C-alpha cells in the first residue's frame, strides 16, 4: 500500500467496535482524523440510559482512546433509523439529543435516515433534521440497503423540505445507481468501501474516473460486522496505482470530508497539523489503553508521516 504519505480522513467508522490494533494500523496508513457516527450496536437498546452512556463514550472515552494513537476523533450524534422503530424509546432519545449535539467534537447529526422506510423512521428523521437546522450542524444520512435508489431520493427530498441546504448534507452508502442524482442535487456523495461486497474499491476507482472528485467522499463504515478499517488508505493507494491524480485522491480521501463536516465549526486542519503529542501513560476516568508491563508510546507525531517512523522516544 503506497499512499505517498497523504494525510487521510475516514469520515465514517464505528471505532467503539474496533480494537487498538486498528487504531495503530490506521495511523500508520496515514489516517489523521476520523468521524464516528452514532449507530445501532447490534443488540437493540431497551433503556434511554444506554443511549446516554453510548453518546457520552463517543464524546469522551473513544475520543481519548483515539488520541492515544495520534488520531483526532470526531463524532456525529443521532438516533439511528433502525432503533427509531421503537417509538416509545425513540421519543426519550429525542429529548436527550440536544444535551449532546453541542458538545466539543460533534461535527453533525448522524447517522440518521431510513432503513426499512417505515412511518416511524420518517417521523424521527424529520424531527432530527429540524434539530440539525436549529443548531446549524451538517447531517450525515444513512441510506437504506433495500430499495436504495428510491430511499436515497426520498432522503434528499425530505432534507430540502425541511429547509436544509444540500451542501450541509452528506448522503452516505452511495453506489453507481445513486451517485448522479446525489451530485446533480448538490449534496455530498459518500461511498462506503466494503470488503468482498457492495462497493469494492475497484468500483470506487471507476466512479472517480467517471464523476471526478467534486463532492465525492470515501469511507469504511467499519463496525462490528465484516468490514475493513483500512478501506480508505487501500482505496487511495489503488486510485493512485490506476492513474487518478494525487489531487483527486486527496479530495475524495481527505479534503471533501474536512470541507463538509468542517461546516460544523468543530473540525479544523490545524487540529492535527500542529504536532500531536502522544503519551500513553495518560488516563481517562482512571483507565489507560495500556495493560500490565507494556511500554507506553510517548512523543510527538507529525501529521504527514506514519506513526511508528515518527515517534520521538
Ligand atoms: Zn455506520
CATH number for 59: 3.20.20.140
Residue 293 lies in a domain: no
Grid coordinates standing for 6? 497523504
Q: What is the pTM of this model?
A: 0.93
Grid coordinates standing for 202? 475497484
In which residue are the cell numbers 440518521 written? 112
Range of the structural domain that residue 203 is part of = 8-268
User: Do 32 and 303 form a contact (C-beta atoms < 8 A)?
Assistant: yes
pLDDT for res 290 = 86
User: Residue 13 C-alpha to ligand 1 middle, in angstroms?
Assistant: 7
User: Residue 239 C-alpha to ligand 1 middle, in angstroms?
Assistant: 23
pLDDT for res 296 = 87
Residue 281 lies in a domain: no
Residue 230 lies in a domain: yes
Residue 280 lies in a domain: no
Neighbours of 245 (CB within 10 A): 12
Task: State residue 297 phi and psi, 5-degree precision.
Answer: -80, 125
Total of domains in the chain: 1
Residue 52 lies in a domain: yes
Find the helix or strand (DSSP H, E) in which 138 lies: none
User: Residue 36 C-alpha to ligand 1 middle, in angstroms?
Assistant: 8
pLDDT for res 303 = 67
Residue 283 lies in a domain: no
pLDDT for res 85 = 97
Residue 304 lies in a domain: no
pLDDT for res 285 = 84
Which residues contact residue 226 at a Cβ distance below 8 angstroms, ignoring those fewer than 6 apart?
194, 195, 196, 197
Neighbours of 70 (CB within 10 A): 28
User: Residue 298 C-alpha to ligand 1 middle, in angstroms?
Assistant: 32
User: Residue 294 C-alpha to ligand 1 middle, in angstroms?
Assistant: 32
User: Do 181 and 155 form a contact (C-beta atoms < 8 A)?
Assistant: no
User: Residue 300 C-alpha to ligand 1 middle, in angstroms?
Assistant: 31
pLDDT for res 281 = 87
User: Residue 313 C-alpha to ligand 1 middle, in angstroms?
Assistant: 36
User: Residue 302 C-alpha to ligand 1 middle, in angstroms?
Assistant: 29
Helix (H, G, I), strand (E, B) or coil at 149: helix
Which residues contact residue 60 at a Cβ distance below 8 angstroms, ignoring those fewer than 6 apart?
284, 285
User: Residue 268 C-alpha to ligand 1 middle, in angstroms?
Assistant: 23
Which residues contact residue 236 at a Cβ distance below 8 angstroms, ignoring those fewer than 6 apart?
3, 6, 8, 30, 218, 249, 253
Which pairing describes strands 276-279 and 188-192: parallel, antiparallel, or unpaired?
A: unpaired
User: Residue 192 C-alpha to ligand 1 middle, in angstroms?
Assistant: 9
Exposure on the CB side of residue 293, measured as CA atoms within 13 A: 0
Task: State residue 294 phi and psi, 5-degree precision.
Answer: -80, 150
Task: Name the stretches of the chain with pLDDT < 50.
Answer: 307-313
Cα 137 to the center of its chain, rounded Å? 15
User: Do 254 and 247 form a contact (C-beta atoms < 8 A)?
Assistant: no
pLDDT for res 198 = 54
Residue 114 lies in a domain: yes
Q: What is the spatial distance between Cα 84 and Cα 94, in angstroms, rounded to a whole number?
A: 10
Amino acid at each position: 500500500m503506497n499512499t505517498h504519505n497523504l494525510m487521510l480522513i475516514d469520515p465514517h467508522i464505528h471505532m467503539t467496535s474496533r480494537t487498538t490494533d486498528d487504531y495503530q494500523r490506521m495511523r500508520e496508513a496515514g489516517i489523521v482524523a476520523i468521524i464516528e457516527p452514532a449507530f445501532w450496536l447490534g443488540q437493540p437498546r431497551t433503556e434511554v440510559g444506554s443511549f446516554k452512556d453510548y453518546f457520552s463514550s463517543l464524546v469522551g472515552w473513544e475520543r481519548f482512546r483515539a488520541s492515544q494513537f495520534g488520531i483526532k476523533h470526531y463524532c456525529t450524534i443521532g438516533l439511528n433509523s433502525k432503533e427509531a422503530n421503537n417509538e416509545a424509546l425513540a421519543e426519550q432519545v429525542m429529548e436527550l439529543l440536544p444535551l449532546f449535539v453541542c458538545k466539543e467534537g460533534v461535527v453533525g447529526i448522524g447517522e440518521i435516515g431510513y432503513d426499512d422506510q417505515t412511518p416511524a423512521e420518517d417521523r424521527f428523521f424529520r424531527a432530527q433534521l429540524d434539530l440539525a437546522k436549529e443548531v446549524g450542524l451538517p447531517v450525515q444520512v444513512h441510506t437504506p440497503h433495500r430499495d436504495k435508489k428510491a430511499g436515497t431520493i426520498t432522503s434528499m427530498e425530505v432534507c430540502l423540505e425541511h429547509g436544509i441546504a444540500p451542501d450541509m448534507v452528506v448522503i452516505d452508502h452511495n453506489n453507481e445507481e445513486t451517485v448522479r442524482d446525489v451530485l446533480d442535487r448538490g449534496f455530498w456523495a459518500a461511498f462506503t468501501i466494503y470488503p468482498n461486497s457492495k462497493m469494492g474499491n475497484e468500483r470506487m476507482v471507476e466512479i472517480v474516473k467517471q464523476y471526478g472528485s467534486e463532492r465525492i467522499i470515501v469511507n469504511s463504515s467499519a463496525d462490528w460486522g465484516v468490514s475493513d478499517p483500512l478501506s480508505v488508505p487501500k482505496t487511495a493507494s489503488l486510485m493512485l496505482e490506476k492513474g487518478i491524480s494525487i489531487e483527486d485522491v486527496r479530495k475524495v480521501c481527505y479534503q471533501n470530508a474536512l470541507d463538509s463536516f468542517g461546516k460544523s465549526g468543530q473540525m479544523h486542519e490545524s487540529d492535527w497539523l500542529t504536532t500531536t503529542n502522544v503519551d500513553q501513560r495518560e488516563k481517562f476516568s482512571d483507565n489507560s489503553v495500556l495493560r500490565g508491563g507494556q511500554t507506553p508510546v510517548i512523543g510527538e507525531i507529525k501529521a504527514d508521516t506514519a506513526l511508528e517512523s515518527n515517534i520521538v522516544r
